[in-house]
Amino acid sequence: MKVQNYIEGKWHEGEGVELELHHAITGEHLGTTSSQGIDYISIMNYAKNVGGPALRKMTFQERGRMLKALALHLIGIKEKFYALSSATGATRIDSWIDIEGGIGNLFANASLRKQFPDLPYYVDGEAAPLSKNGTFIGHHIMVPRQGVAIHINAFNFPIWGMLEKIAVNLMAGVPAIVKPSEFTCYLTELMVKEIVASNILPEGSLQLVCGLGRGIIDHVDHNDMITFTGSAKTGKMLKGLPHIIENSVPFNLEADSLNGCVLGEDAVPGTPEFDLFIKEVQKEITVKTGQKCTAVRRILVPAKLVEDVQSALSKRLEKTVIGDPSNEAVRMGALATKTQVTRVKENVSKLLAEQALVYGDLEKFEVVGADKQKGAFFSPIVMLNDDPFNKLAAHNVEAFGPVSTIMPYNSLSDAVELIKMGKGSLVTSIVTANDKLAREFVTEAACSNGRILVLNERCAKESTGHGSPMPLLTHGGPGRAGGGEEMGGKRGILHYLQRTAIQGHPQTITAITQRFQVGADQPEANPHVFRQHFEELQIGDTVFTHKHTVTEADIVNFANVSGDNFYAHMDATSLEGTIFEQRVAHGYFVLSKAAGLFVDPIKGPVLLNYGIDEARFVKPVYPGATLGVKFTVKEKTDQEKRSEEDIAKGIVRFLVDVYDETGETVALATILTMVRKLDQSS
């Protein structure tokens, strides 16, 4: 078998052989891979000229639905990936993280479409007034970068590593070229074959380079983006290439780091938190055979509890069966390759030069259902550093396998300082039931971490754990961890967009943003906006309502109905020293009355009103004030049908501008309505 590259719409074997591939458990020869002969200028142009335009024509809503369809397709054939994943040395649990965790990123990013407009680009923030009379304003839009996202991924997560990144750039409207690690690229290739066969993604939006990929970033320019996951040394070397710096190419580096797990001083033996700590650390040592960028490498323990932790952790690790994952008794598989075995051994030797081995053996350990000499097996290794402020190897050397070091600390400030000595981490956990202690630790240690997990009995049942970055939260970290950010929900998508300030008349900015801007034209709606279907409504169309003069009876009646008898509404004798001149109408009465003025009561295309955003009461309303409303179509968002029986509809946001007899605004709000479409088949 020769693992292929998918470039320019075709599968390509590459010339010659760059690497021989082997089964991590059996040592069996799986095939070869090569990227020689690939014209990187050509595949980048293909992405920019074919994939990019197709994605940019789609709105965020359409891209989100595309990702959802892809996720549903892949989850339906997930067993195909599990079958091959075992060749990487992974157990079923390890594969679940990689496969279904990766597909989960597609689902999560698809759901983010609800936070974006029904446009191919994003309108960022609110308008900025730039002139006295309001005829000149500023705004920001964010458009898809017209380049390529090049993802260079590590060997440990051949599926998750790809899907967590392309989910974001595809949602943003940017094509990708994926370069998985050559060591486990066969699993990425299988996933891409299924993606291509599904025809769900536009052609050119995803290309795959499976070999060494030498030259893949040689031709990038300022429109392109690079993400790199792997060793800090390699990542920094690539990030520092002259043409990367000269062209200001965005380069997101996520490097392996010396992550820590801290046992709180309150979590003594016999407490649920002590047991949680031991379980979490054991899991982080053994899951994926310790081959995770987030794995716990430094175990920080109050000095008086070191022996307790050492004993409890050793007992738990003794129950970890190593071997062939197809055997139901096996709980830890192998490293990805024999090359990794050599590298991990070398780094363990460096650590043992100044630390004591307290659990495990580099040579003597049992393997179930497999030949230890043929597979890439490794024993869990736990060391003790009795002087972590002076014996520094554990703060500098990472053995990328089931390897970790126990370190004593004497005070919380010591624990924080030891965490910082890792020079920047992707994640640190603290296990404590003391919220005051948790707050102190988090606020001091956050500057050195991309993520902090506070674990205790209250959240343990639903906690995703130390080692699990989540799609809606940022994944990355400062310093050694690379200084980058991945995922992060909406933040991640914005990374692939170019933010541009735009200036002009409110009417022009309305036309560009497809969001009504104050000062733009407000033609009177005819018929009433509640009589129009989703497609018929135009941004800026406005209903100018009849007027209503507020009376004291209105205030009293509203107080009786609502139960709101706040003194400013009901007691004129209590207003001394306040900002009010006389009894003031309830703000919610003003909005309620506004609704009575702007609503057209007869049945029509409006299905329901389901919320109010950005409600503000900006001027007191006293008895005698005469109120009117300008009710304006502010923004429209298409909504997909959930089933054939579902009503075809969209979401319309209306600006509610309530003004008084002086013409001044007294209240502002945005209401959200669900409006039927003309075409019920769409």
Q: Which of 480, 477, 156, 152 is nearest to 343 (CA)?
A: 156
Yes or no: say if 673 and 652 are a contact pair by the CB < 8 Å rule.
yes
Yes or no: say if 273 and 265 are a contact pair by the CB < 8 Å rule.
no
CA distance 162 to 106: 11
Apex CA 163: angle with CA 45 and CA 108, to 5°? 120
**What is the maximum span of the chain, computed from C-alpha positions, in angstroms?**
92
The sign of the torsion formed by the CA atoms of 240, 245, 246, 251 equals: positive
Q: Which two tokens stand for residue 282?
A: 């054991």
Q: Which of 625, 565, 571 is nearest to 593 (CA)?
A: 625
Provide the residue count of the chain: 682
Q: Which two tokens stand for residue 118?
A: 């029904």
- Which residues make beta-bridge pairs with 504? 137
Q: Which two tokens stand for residue 510?
A: 């309305």
Yes or no: say if 24 and 339 are a contact pair by the CB < 8 Å rule.
no
The yes-or-no answer on residue 210 being catalytic is no
The backbone torsions φ and ψ at residue 288, rounded to the nearest 5 degrees and listed phi first, read: 55, 25
For 253-391, where are the alpha helices, taking DSSP H only? Answer: 272-286, 306-318, 338-352
CA distance 360 to 344: 14
Q: Which helix (H) or strand (E) holds 652?
A: strand 649-659
* Residue partners of 336: CB distance under 8 A and separation at least 6: 24, 88, 89, 155, 156, 183, 184, 291, 376
The yes-or-no answer on residue 254 being catalytic is yes
For 435-489, where are the alpha helices, taking DSSP H only? Answer: 435-445
CA distances from 66 to 62, 102, 171, 455 (A): 6, 16, 9, 36
CA distance 408 to 392: 14
Query: Angle, nearest 10°, between helix axes 552-562 and 587-598?
Result: 100
Give the sheet arrangement for strand 251-255, strand by strand: 10-12, 5-7, 206-208, 176-179, 149-152, 225-230, 251-255
* Catalytic, out of 265, 293, 486, 635: 293
Coil, strand, or helix at residue 100?
helix
Half-sphere exposure of 92 toward its Cβ, with a 13 Å CA cutoff? 6
Q: Which of 45, 51, 48, 42 is nearest to 206 (CA)?
A: 51
* Catalytic, out of 254, 280, 284, 398: 254
Q: Which helix (H) or strand (E) holds 297?
A: strand 296-302
CA distances from 357 to 380, 386, 466, 571, 625 (A): 11, 11, 24, 77, 81
Yes or no: say if 449 and 419 are a contact pair by the CB < 8 Å rule.
yes
Q: Report long-range pairs for 198-201 (Cβ below 8 Å, ≥24 apart).
A: 198/70, 198/73, 200/66, 200/69, 200/70, 200/73, 201/66, 201/70, 201/170
The backbone torsions φ and ψ at residue 199, rounded to the nearest 5 degrees and listed phi first, read: 60, 25
Instruction: Give me the active site residues, please.
Output: 254, 293
